[in-house]
Structure 1
Amino acid sequence: MSSELLTERRDTTLVLTLRGAANRNSLSAQACAAGIEAINNAADEPGVHCIVLHGDGAHFCAGADPHALGHDEAGPGGFEAAFDGLIDVMRSSPKPVIAAVEGHAVDAGFVLALACDVVIAADDACFSWTQPQAAAALTLQLPRPLAMQLLWLTEALSARRLHGMGLANEVVPPGEALAEALRWGRKLAGVPADRIAAAKEWFRSRS
């Protein structure tokens, strides 16, 4: 069964939950398309100040659902086009997007977390890359020496190592990533929307 993306409002934060327990929340094209729609809608909703993305249960996202690869359920381009579209709307949205990472963030799940504006990771979270044939997305996100290490050795990175490199904002006890992300959402609700949007656009224009 393919994963799905659930949406829920918590005060001024839109929570997006990737759910697919049978495949550790692997991404399907349908879930990507649902994320694109939800984030685009949030951009025009004045009551939404922040978006939080997390995985249901013990893991964030185990990458692309192998059953989705090569299928055209999301239209031309299939999964790859849908995933690229999701990353693009996350970066271009004027609203801040926060990743709440528990457990594994693998391949496309790793890229998805790093594409967020803020990363909150559980202390036992790990980030890994196992697909050297699709390196472009990872090399755009990470310093070259680290990207090469991951692509060659496929070693997992701990949350604390990512934090030490400035790629994660906070490391929290296991099970607390979503709660901390929601606290960030409440703090960001007090920041002028134009300041947040301008900062995101500045970084996007230089990526």
Structure 2
Amino acid sequence: MLLTLSDPATRNTLSPQIYAAFVEALNYADAEDQVRCVVLTGDGGHFCSGGNLQRLVGNRAAGPQVQTESIERFHELVEALRAFPKPVIAAVEGAAAGAGFSLALTCDLLVAAKDARFVLSYGRVGLSPDGGAVSHLMQALPRSQVMQLMLLAEPIGAEQLHRQGVVNYLAEPGQALTQALELAERLGQMAPNAMASAKDLVHKAQAGALRQHLALERDHFVNNLFHDNGGEGIEAFFGRRPPQFK
């Protein structure tokens, strides 16, 4: 099954509607025996730019509970992907930013174009990561590099992440989806029950820690969104000016 995030005008931002549609698609794929693998990609030359800041502005006006519920829907998707019994491959072109980076890390295998860029962009607008990005990166990268990615919101290239084991396969620009589909064909020849067992073993080895970490990410994100610096960061982004954090 090929799932495409498609809102090219916003570089495929995420929303509660997308979370719900994604979970519905996974439920269908789980029940359909002919579906052996799921491939996730983005439309318009980019994977996903993360959360929609316009929606966050509205959530700030609506109150913390609205944002808490929104993050919980996203985190339910993260846990559903981890528990899903069939392989999920991310095919990344262009940018995977913020929650888009988190989403790519949640997939079982990651194919990225050589010129793809990944960034935990939260700090630029006075926010903190969600979607399990920190938990996943801490299992693969040195603490110092994770801190650099988080604190400075610096982009990192696919080739560097491939050398460090975060990206499984590199593709020529424009070929990430093609290579991911070829990988899916290979996985389709494997015993589905054995792959489900492998995923279950890995998921259960990490599930408790991930769930606790997701709860921490939710609480920190909501607190930072409703801090004055959260409002300043988002206003500065839309005003195309440097933020004045206090």
**For 1:99, which of 49, 74, 90 is the aligned residue?**
90
The answer on 1:50 being equivalent to 2:37 is: yes
Which residue is 2:129 aligned to?
135
State the distance in 2 between where 1:203 and 1:104 align: 28
Partner in structure 1 of residue 117 of structure 2: 126
Which residue is equivalent to 1:22?
9
State the Cα deviation string for residues 111-132 of structure 1 (Å, max 9, x = none). 0000000000001100001214
Aligned length: 192
- Structure having the larger proportion of residues in strand: 1
Q: Which amino acid aligns with 1:187?
A: R
**Contact between 1:40 and 1:89, CA under 8 Å: does it hold in 2?**
no
Q: Residues of 2 paired with 1:166 and 1:138: CA distance?
A: 15
- TM-score normalized by structure 2? 0.74
Distance apart, 1:76 and its partner CA: 8.8
* Aligned-pair Cα RMSD in Å: 1.7
User: Are residues 201 and 65 of structure 1, via their aligned partners in 2, closer, same or farther at CA, if it must alter by over 3 Å?
Assistant: same
Q: Does 1:168 align with 2:163?
A: no
Q: State the match for 1:111 in structure 2.
A: 102
Q: Where in structure 1 are there 5+ consecutive unaligned residues?
A: 1-13
State the SS of the aligned residue for 2:197: helix
- Which residue number corresponds to residue 202 of structure 2? 203
Shift of 1:78: 3.9
TM-score by length of 1: 0.87
1:194 maps to amino acid: N
How far apart are the structure 2 equivalents of 1:203 and 1:36?
20
Q: Distance in 2 between matches of 1:194 and 1:40?
A: 17
Deviating more after overlay: 15-24 vs 130-139: 130-139
For residue 27 of structure 2, what is the aligned residue in structure 1? Answer: 40
CA distance in 2, matches of 1:68, 1:53: 23
1:65 CA displacement: 1.3
- Any idea what the Cα deviations from partners look like across 1:107-150, whole Å, max 9, x if unmatched? 10000000000000001100001214423622201133222111
Q: What's the % identity of the aligned pairs?
A: 40
The one-letter amino acid of 1:162's match is L
Determine the C-alpha separation between the residues in 2 that align with 1:16 and 1:196.
20
The AA in structure 1 aligned to 2:40 is L
Q: Distance in 1 between matches of 2:67 and 2:53?
A: 18
The 3-state SS of whatever aligns with 2:55 is coil
Q: Deviations over 1:82-118 (max 9, x none)?
A: 2111111111110100000000000100000000000
Q: Give the deviation of 1:79 after TM superposition.
A: 2.6
Q: Secondary structure at the match of 1:67?
A: helix
The 5 A counterparts of 1:178-197 are: 178-197=177-196
Structure with the largest fraction of helix? 2
Query: 2:96 is paired with a residue of what secondary structure?
Result: strand
Contact kept, 8 Å, 2:105 with 2:133, in 1: the verdict is: no
